[in-house]
Chain A
């Protein structure tokens, strides 16, 4: 139904604060694009510019190939789900959902049909006569979703829609949003600071940092090939282990001189490997073509299906994920082994080499 294109979009607040510093993203029809990044990186600002709630300082935003910079939110034919839901407190659920349709002059019976349809899909049918304050957080969230869906807009915008829910509900709604978005086939932009939400929802994942796009692509591609140390440490939980290294002779060492067991590529100053990509071995064998570091277990965190070992290796904290129960105990000395194909190298500027 619609594509969304951002070209060199910038936002300067009050002539001084540069919140978005030139972002270019192309979102194809029916795709769900997730903007993820730490708090204050400009995600909401970008989303609000797509919605028309903020002016665009420079660059262009296009919906369906048409530049909408000068078009107000009322005419953009988008729907937005706010973090605090922004339900109209003085209107019943039914009227909350019907409001946008009435404003567009839709006939009464058509409004009624649509609202009831959507209410049935979202299991809200029995709540239509309540006011927002009489609903639970999860129900309010569904009403906010319903209000967006009932309009059948060109684009859905979500600004951290699940962050006010408890963990369990958040998981459920995440799946539901994904299913709804897919079955409705509406192009969507979804803002979150939660990397798990981002990974699971995104068709296109955009990792932002300080007003800039750090990396953009399919979630698993980003997970497997993070473009920078920032992305490496932001995507994945627990985050990737990053260790500073120095080249020495035809090998490489940690900062304190500990030999890592293999050579580093040119310019690499940081070595990274994910907690799930390492093995721990108790013996002193030195496997070929792998990084092997002596480490001491500091703490063990059993989570159930897996356990995390928090280890210290020459002043660095390394997290290791092992499936099931961990056999290691605190104060055990062991060797951490990461295969060369599972290693990530980053240069001085933090870029992948």
Chain B
């Protein structure tokens, strides 16, 4: 540990952190507190009065089949999005690592999609896969696949996963490229001399050594799929058809702002908040420390 700097002034340090504290308090703790408070209130059918009901909203939410369905949808969506985004990015990064000429150019091209806003990305795929006008949908139908994301929940989910993963691929790609570059070349050479072919080298040397990067991205991608995909869901499926693509975040919006079931929506927000805190804790605890060789 490096020795700490000790300020002789008693008040200056507090003064210096005051703006940050104020911002955190006003924009995070206050709304969070409000949500917590709201989650324990129940409004009458006309929205005129509300009463304090302790954890009733949580009990109701957690035993609501549509909420449980939403959990399932979110897990399927997150796992699929993280898996697709990471696998494709890893594949592209491995190929980019082999490119000799124009490496920088190729990489720059790969990074662009990250600059596209989620809702725009969603619209893009909505058009591409639109059953009646989408060019990719036409191709699918020509190939004999009865593509219909508007009525078929599975198709809607696939479309959503593609749109969400597409945006994340660039980000993962960057990290995988850096991770690959950090693997000493002599290790690969030693493995080649040790009789390992290219595929074998990848699975026995490269992939295990990428573990820290992979784990980090797994956390990041899961967090992304959980919380940052509202725009995409909203643009692509709006949670439908039925409730087949209604993720937890989208359900908060639907119940709170569309259906105005404020207490339930607030309870859901609080549950989401707990999940975020848990994921962040995992990230802090393990990403930096545990999966690390040296």
A residues touching B (Cβ–Cβ < 8 Å)? Answer: 51-53, 72-74, 76, 78-80, 82, 84, 86, 88-90, 99-100, 103-104, 131, 133, 147, 151
- Among listed B45-53, B59-67, B193-201, B220-228, interface-contacting one: B193-201
Q: How far is the CB of B289 from chain A (nearest CB, A)?
A: 15
Given A53-B189, A88-B205, answer yes or no on A100-B184 (Cβ-Cβ < 8 Å): no
> How far, in whole Å, are A89 and B211 apart by their CA atoms in the complex?
12
- B191 sits at the interface (CB 8 A): yes
Contact B193 A88 (CB under 8 A): no
Question: Does B209 sit within 8 A of A, measured CB to CB?
Answer: yes
Question: Does B189 lie within 8 Å of A100, measured CB to CB?
Answer: no
CA distance A99 to B188 in the complex (A): 13
A86: which of B184, B196, B204, B294 is its contact (CB, 8 Å)?
A: B184
Q: Verify A79–B193 contact, CB threshold 8 A.
A: yes
Chain A residues whose CB sits within 8 angstroms of the CB of B195 once the complex forms: 74, 100, 103-104
Kindly state the separation between the CA atoms of A53 and B187 in the bound complex, as whole angstroms: 12
- If the complex has contacts A90-B293, A103-B200, are A78 and B193 also in contact, measured as CB distance less than 8 A? yes
Q: Does B282 contact A (CB under 8 A)?
A: no
Interface string of B178-215 (1 = CB under 8 A from A): 00000010110111111111001000110011010000
Q: For the complex, what is the distance from the CA of A90 to the CA of B210, rounded to whole Å?
A: 11
Interface residues on B, range: 20 to 34
List residues of chain A with CB within 8 A of the CB of B184. Answer: 84, 86
In the complex, chain B residues whose CB is within 8 Å of the CB of A151: 194
* In the complex, chain A residues whose CB is within 8 Å of the CB of B209: 89-90
Task: Kindly list the 9 A-B residue pairs having the minimum CB-CB distance in the complex, ordered from nearest.
Answer: A100-B194, A103-B195, A86-B186, A86-B190, A89-B293, A90-B208, A73-B192, A103-B196, A73-B193
Name 25 interchain pairs, CB-CB below 8 A, sorted by A: A51-B193, A52-B193, A53-B193, A73-B192, A74-B197, A76-B193, A80-B189, A80-B190, A82-B189, A84-B184, A84-B186, A86-B186, A88-B205, A89-B293, A90-B208, A90-B211, A99-B194, A99-B204, A100-B194, A103-B195, A104-B195, A133-B294, A147-B190, A147-B194, A151-B194
| Contact residues, B143-188 vs A (CB, 8 A) | 184, 186-187
CA separation between A272 and B189, bound complex, in Å?
A: 44
Interface pair B208/A82, CB less than 8 Å apart: no
**A residues near B200, Cβ cutoff 8 Å:** 103
Contact B193 A103 (CB under 8 A): no
Please give, as numbers and ranges, the residues of chain A lying within 8 Å of B211 by CB-CB distance.
90
In the bound complex, residues from chain A placing their C-beta under 8 Å from that of B187 are 86, 88-89
Residue of A nearest to B195 (CB): A103
CB distance from B100 to the nearest CB of A (A): 10
Selected from B189, B191, B294, the residue in CB contact (under 8 A) with A99 is B191
Q: In the complex, what distance in Å separates the CA atom of A51 from the CA atom of B186?
A: 12
Write out the residue numbers on chain A whose beta carbons fall within 8 Å of the beta carbon of B204: 99
Which of A78, A88, A89, A131 meets B191, CB within 8 Å? A88
B185: shortest Cβ distance to chain A, in Å? 9
Which residue of chain B is the closest to A80 with respect to CB atoms?
A: B193
Min CB distance B200 to A, Å, is 7
**Which residues B248-279 have CB closer than 8 A to chain A?**
none
Q: Which residue of B lies closest to A98 (CB)?
A: B194
Is A86 within 8 A of B189, CB to CB?
yes
Which of B193, B195, B211 counts the most A-chain CB atoms under 10 A from its CB? B193
From A81, which residue of chain B is reached at the shortest CB distance?
B190
Distance from A74 Cβ to chain B, minimum over Cβ atoms (Å): 5
- Give bound CA distance, A103 to B195, whole Å: 6
Measured CA separation A51–B293 after assembly (Å): 28
Please tell me if the beta carbons of A72 and B192 are within 8 angstroms of each other in the complex. yes
Contacts A90-B209, A147-B190 supplied; 5 other A-B pairs, CB < 8 Å: A52-B193, A74-B193, A80-B190, A84-B186, A147-B194
Nearest A residue to B183 via CB reads: A89
A80: chain B residues at CB < 8 Å are 189-190, 193
Q: Which residue of A lies closest to B187 (CB)?
A: A86
- Which chain B positions have C-beta within 8 A of A147? 190, 194
The residue that B190 contacts in the complex, of A52, A76, A82, A104, with Cβ under 8 A, is A82
Q: Which residues of A contact B186 (CB under 8 A)?
A: 82, 84, 86
Query: Which of chain A's residues have a CB closer than 8 A to the CB of B197?
Result: 74
Minimum CB distance partner of A77 in chain B:
B195
**With a CB–CB cut-off of 8 A, which chain B residues contact A103?**
194-196, 200
Which B residue's beta carbon lies closest to that of A151? B194
* Chain B residues whose CB sits within 8 angstroms of the CB of A133 once the complex forms: 293-294
